């Protein structure tokens, strides 16, 4: 289970964010429970329902005309059955007495145990529902379990609502270090908010994800749900970094990989080595394009990589291009490039058996499969006291060996 001080601090930050009906954009129950304010010439009367009371009788006892009473009851029928009124329920009438005639301005009824209704007269004289439903409460719920056959069905089987299960799967899918298949027995933990009636969970309850954790071996894969001001909710990791990858374009037009990411028998060294990138075979001189916007971090001859270019795209992401025949004009260290810009040409310089482009993608200075990098929008997170991290430059030294 995650225990780093930074992760605990981040969870505390998110837990301290404004929560509840108003901040979540849900129904605001602050203030008077009826939501009705009396105006000059109006009076408010509260009645506790007794034996023999009907809504019509209560209105009549307080001087409301039968025609007006009928309009109120008719307007109410689409939302709640007036006949469910029972002993002990509460009725609040807001009345005016203009020119000696009683006029109903608003009606609020608490139907026990779980429904409330407020009707308010509009300017056109008709009655409209101002609010319906019970007074909601906010609860923070935690679900733990382990994977049986696959993750999502296991989440559902343990009681996690489908909407939240989908959010967990989507956020974890952005983690380039997460195994493609989650093994049986892998533990998980999910923390989420529920806004509804505590004693009666319903499909209509409002749900919001806070945190999810998946333990692969002894390594936790986690994300937190964070809502920046005026922005939609997005995932961040335990270091307060946005979970972010970039949509890379293919660096060669129409190129197809003939040597994928992973362990392989090296074609020159004739021994098993980790292939930390992918190979695109192409004729000598084929144009190579920047896979995304970035800055040239390194360019030149780099041993077995031959002619080499490395582009930094942001604090977390970089791409590298090896075995180039040559560089495009203007490609120099520190220069800015845009996605799709010509940066070089395919060759077989360095340790290579034929003309091809060797392409790497690095996330947080770790090599990942370039063909599996996914897209998620970046966010800015200001976490007081958190240390800023900077990606170290992992540029091949002159004379280094290509994989």
Q: What are phi and psi of 116, to 5 degrees?
A: -130, 150
Confidence category of residue 38, pLDDT binned at 50, 70, 90: low
Short-list 165, 212, 218, 170, CA closest to 191: 212
When pLDDT is averaged across residues 375-402 and rounded to a whole number, the result is 42
pTM: 0.43
pLDDT at position 79 over 80: no
31: confidence class by pLDDT, cuts 50, 70, 90: very low
pLDDT at 76 over 90: no
Given this model, what pLDDT does residue 27 score? 30
Sorting pLDDT into bands at 50, 70 and 90, what band is 228? low
Degrees to nearest 5, angle at CA 399 with 396 and 400: 45
| Statement: residue 129 has pLDDT above 70 | yes
Q: Count CB neighbours of 311 within 10 A.
A: 25
Helices H, strands E: what count in the chain? Answer: 5, 21
Considering Cα of 169, then 175, then 177, then 180, what sign does the dihedral take?
positive
At 39-58, the pLDDT tens digits run: 556 788 888 888 888 888 88
Mean pLDDT of 218-247: 69
Indicate the pLDDT class of residue 32, thresholds 50, 70 and 90: very low
In the predicted structure, residue 187 carries a pLDDT above the cut 80: yes
Compare 307 and 23 and report the one with higher pLDDT: 307
Question: Could you tell me the domains of the chain?
Answer: 5-24+137-236 (3.10.450.350), 42-132 (3.10.450.350), 244-403 (2.70.70.10)
**Any idea what the Cα angle at residue 108 is, between residues 102 and 110, rounded to 5°?**
140
Report pLDDT for 375.
Answer: 47
Is the pLDDT reported for residue 229 higher than 80? Answer: no
Q: DSSP label at 80?
A: S
Looking at per-residue confidence, does 399 or 304 come out higher?
A: 304
How many Cβ atoms from other residues are within 10 Å of residue 161's Cβ?
18
Backbone angles phi, psi at 64, to 5 degrees: -80, 135
Give the residue, 125 or 323, on which the prediction is more confident.
Answer: 323
pLDDT at residue 230 in the model? 59
Closest CA to 36 of 95, 124, 99: 95
Q: What is the pLDDT of residues 11-21, one digit of tens each?
A: 555 454 444 33
Mean pLDDT of 299-319: 90
Give how far the C-alpha of residue 292 lies from the chain's centroid of Cα atoms, to the nearest Å.
Answer: 24
The model's pLDDT over 89-107, given as tens digits with 9 standing for 90+, comes to 888 888 887 667 888 888 8
Within 158-287, residue ranges assigned H as helices are 162-172
pLDDT at 376 over 80: no
CA distance 45 to 91: 8
The predicted model gives 251-264 an average pLDDT of 80
């Amino acid at each position: 289970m995650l225990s780093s001080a930074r992760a605990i601090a981040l969870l505390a930050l998110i837990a301290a964010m404004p929560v509840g009906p108003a901040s979540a954009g849900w129904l605001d129950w602050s203030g008077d429970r009826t939501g009705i304010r009396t105006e000059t010439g109006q009076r408010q009367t509260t009645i506790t329902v007794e034996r023999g009371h009907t809504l019509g009788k209560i209105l009549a006892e307080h001087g409301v005309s039968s025609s007006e009473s009928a309009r109120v009851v008719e307007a109410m029928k689409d939302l709640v059955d007036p006949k469910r009124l029972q002993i002990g329920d509460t009725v609040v009438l807001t009345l005016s007495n203009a020119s000696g005639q009683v006029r109903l301005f608003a009606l609020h009824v608490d139907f026990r145990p779980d429904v409330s209704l407020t009707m308010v007269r509009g300017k056109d004289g008709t009655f409209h529902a101002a609010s319906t439903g019970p007074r909601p409460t906010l609860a923070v719920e935690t679900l733990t379990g382990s994977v049986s056959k696959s993750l999502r069905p296991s989440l559902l089987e343990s009681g996690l609502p489908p909407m939240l299960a989908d959010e967990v799967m989507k956020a974890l899918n952005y983690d380039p270090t997460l195994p493609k298949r989650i093994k049986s027995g892998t533990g998980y933990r999910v923390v989420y908010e529920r806004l509804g009636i505590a004693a009666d969970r319903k499909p209509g309850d409002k749900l919001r994800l806070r945190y999810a954790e998946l333990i692969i071996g002894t390594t936790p894969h986690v994300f937190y749900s964070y809502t920046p001001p005026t922005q939609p909710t997005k995932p961040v990791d335990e270091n307060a970094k946005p979970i972010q990858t970039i949509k890379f374009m293919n660096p060669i037009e129409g190129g197809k990989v003939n040597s994928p990411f992973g362990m392989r028998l090296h074609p020159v060294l004739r021994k098993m080595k980790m292939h930390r990138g992918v190979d695109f075979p192409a004729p000598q001189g084929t144009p190579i394009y920047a896979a995304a916007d970035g800055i040239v971090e390194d360019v030149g001859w780099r041993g077995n990589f031959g002619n080499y270019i490395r582009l930094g795209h942001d604090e977390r992401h970089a791409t590298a291009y090896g075995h180039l025949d040559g560089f495009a004009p203007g490609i120099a260290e520190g220069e800015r490039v845009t996605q799709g810009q010509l940066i070089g040409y395919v060759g077989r310089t360095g340790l290579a058996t034929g003309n091809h482009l060797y392409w790497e993608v690095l996330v947080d200075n770790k090599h990942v499969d370039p063909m599996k990098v996914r897209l998620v929008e970046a966010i800015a997170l200001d976490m007081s006291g958190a240390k800023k991290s900077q990606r170290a430059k992992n540029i091949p030294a002159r004379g280094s060996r290509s994989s």
